């Protein structure tokens, strides 16, 4: 069993390049299915979620290879239309294959994704969007059986779901006619997906706004693309610098994607400087509490950054209120932070963090991806040694969390440990 050991309690400093965005690369890899040619995708981080996605593409008959951070997918002759239960079970976001499979093969079969560590995650909006585009979707024995053909249509989402917006875009690019998605999610990853699809010859516009329009049915071809930097990984490292009273920078990142996170850290007393492709931060010795943090769809405060900034604020002066509006079970890191000496009260969607003088090292377990990263942030700030177990959650989204934090001066190592609990 791998664990992280961190000896914390000293200010971090240094510079770290930010990996490619997990939430961009997954839909982009699914989109390669649409192109009867070779797609070369740069800045593909080595994450377990990415490797599962590549396994699904291989299973479907694509030729897939990786050289460093560049992945090549040749979907000239995809033969399959099903995602097996084993691969579906590994990663909830494999539901993103529904749109491209329906679009390219006219047929898709995959198991119904269950809940996950963040609570129940319904896919009703994915299904209703694809149905609007002409798909017939039946559920049989826990499997979704979907058939086309698809056509353009007007999709009105009742809430701006990231995954449903992406699935609808992926389904619509090959469906003859015009598709309009209203109340679309506005996340930067959707802008990245649009840019990639247009590189393949698609005609998609409006991503980043609430209305995305797709002129479907144009022939696509292969292409080359570089995935955007991961704004949540960047938020994690800025939080670690802030939590430790440190000073440093994250490079290769678009500061505009992090404006709510940097505004919060600045309110907490950090000096932030953003240039074209880097964000630097200088933290005070002790952070101040900030005004309520309410998670919301982009451009609001990202739910994915809630845990890491909460970890940074555990040692602030004063109390900060958090309201988690996106997912029901997104405070599972709180118990672990309490084990490290944090004072956090929880009720439903609300958490109040009362700043303490300092945290202490403890044995803790990652409960989910971002909650796990939050423990590393807390561990960097805590006096003494912190051991983090259940790294499989963290490996889903961080290519090398320990290496990146070491680049910022942290004393953190990945070690093998005998299973004792």
Contact 382, 341 (CB under 8 A): yes
Nearest distance from residue 310's CB to ligand UD1, in Å?
15
Angstrom distance (rounded) from CA 19 to CA 235: 12
139 near ligand UD1, rule: CB under 6 A:
no
Marked catalytic residue, from 39, 44, 62, 116: 116
91 near ligand UD1, rule: CB under 6 A:
no
Q: What is the DSSP string of 14-47?
A: EEEEPPBPHHHHHHHHHHGGG-SSEEEEES----
Nearest distance from residue 260's CB to ligand UD1, in Å?
12
Q: Which of 53, 94, 161, 320 binds ligand UD1 (CB under 6 A)?
A: 161
191 near ligand UD1, rule: CB under 6 A:
no
Among 39, 29, 93, CA closest to 60: 29
322 near ligand UD1, rule: CB under 6 A:
no
Among 95, 136, 140, 132, CA closest to 115: 95
Q: How many other C-beta atoms are found inside a 10 Å radius of the C-beta of residue 219?
A: 10
225-264 positions binding ligand UD1, by CB under 6 A? none
In DSSP terms, 137 is beta-bridged to 146
Residue nearest to ligand UD1 (CB): 163
171 near ligand UD1, rule: CB under 6 A:
no
156 near ligand UD1, rule: CB under 6 A:
no
Q: What is the DSSP string of 148-183?
A: ------EEE-SS--HHHHHHHHHHHTTSSEEEEEES
176 near ligand UD1, rule: CB under 6 A:
no
Binding mask 277-316 for ligand UD1 (x = CB under 6 A): --------------------------xx------------
Which range binds ligand UD1 by CB under 6 A, 28-36, 162-170, 208-216, 278-286? Answer: 162-170
Q: What is the DSSP string of 290-315?
A: -S-EEB-STTSB-GGGHHHHHHHHTT
Residue 116 a catalytic site member: yes
- Separation of CA 225 from chain center: 19
Nearest distance from residue 1's CB to ligand UD1, in Å?
26
Question: What residues make contact with ligand UD1 under the rule CB under 6 A?
Answer: 23, 26, 93, 121-126, 159, 161-164, 185, 303-304, 326-327
Active site residues: 116
């Amino acid at each position: 069993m791998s664990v992280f050991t961190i000896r914390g309690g000293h200010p971090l400093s240094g510079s770290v390049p930010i990996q490619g965005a997990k939430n961009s690369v997954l839909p982009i890899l699914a989109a390669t299915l649409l192109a009867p040619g070779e797609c070369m995708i740069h800045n593909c981080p080595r994450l377990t979620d990415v490797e599962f996605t590549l396994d699904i593409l291989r299973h479907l008959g694509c030729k897939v290879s990786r050289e460093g951070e560049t992945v090549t997918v040749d979907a000239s002759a995809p033969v399959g239309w099903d995602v097996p239960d084993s691969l579906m079970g590994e990663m909830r976001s494999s539901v993103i294959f529904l749109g491209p499979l329906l679009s390219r093969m006219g047929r898709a079969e995959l198991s119904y994704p269950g809940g996950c560590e963040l609570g129940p995650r319904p896919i009703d909006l994915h299904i209703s969007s694809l149905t609007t585009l002409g798909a017939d979707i039946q559920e049989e024995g826990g499997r979704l059986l979907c058939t086309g053909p698809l056509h353009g249509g007007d999709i009105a989402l009742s809430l701006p779901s990231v995954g449903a917006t992406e699935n609808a875009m992926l389904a619509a690019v090959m469906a003859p006619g015009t598709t309009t998605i209203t109340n679309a999610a506005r996340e930067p990853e959707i802008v990245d997906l649009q840019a990639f699809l247009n590189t393949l010859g698609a005609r998609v516009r409006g991503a980043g706004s609430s209305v995305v329009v797709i002129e479907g049915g144009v022939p696509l071809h292969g292409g080359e693309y570089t995935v955007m930097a991961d704004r949540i990984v960047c938020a994690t490292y800025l939080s670690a610098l802030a939590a430790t009273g440190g000073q440093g920078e994250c490079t290769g990142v678009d500061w505009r994607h992090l404006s709510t996170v940097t505004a919060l850290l600045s309110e907490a007393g950090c000096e932030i400087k953003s240039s074209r492709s880097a964000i630097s931060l200088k933290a005070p010795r002790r952070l101040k509490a900030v005004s309520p943090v309410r998670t919301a769809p982009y451009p609001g405060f990202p739910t994915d950054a809630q845990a890491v900034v909460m970890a940074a604020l555990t040692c602030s002066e004063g109390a900060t209120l958090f309201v988690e509006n996106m997912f029901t079970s997104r405070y599972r890191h709180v118990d672990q932070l309490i084990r490290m000496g944090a004072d956090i009260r929880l009720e439903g969607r609300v958490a109040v963090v009362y700043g303490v003088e300092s945290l202490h090292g403890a044995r803790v377990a990652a409960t989910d991806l971002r909650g796990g990263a939050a423990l590393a942030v807390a561990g960097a700030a805590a006096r003494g040694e912190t051991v983090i177990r259940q790294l499989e959650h963290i490996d889903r989204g961080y290519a090398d969390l320990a290496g990146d934090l070491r680049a910022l001066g942290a004393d953190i190592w990945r070690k093998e440990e005998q299973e004792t609990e």
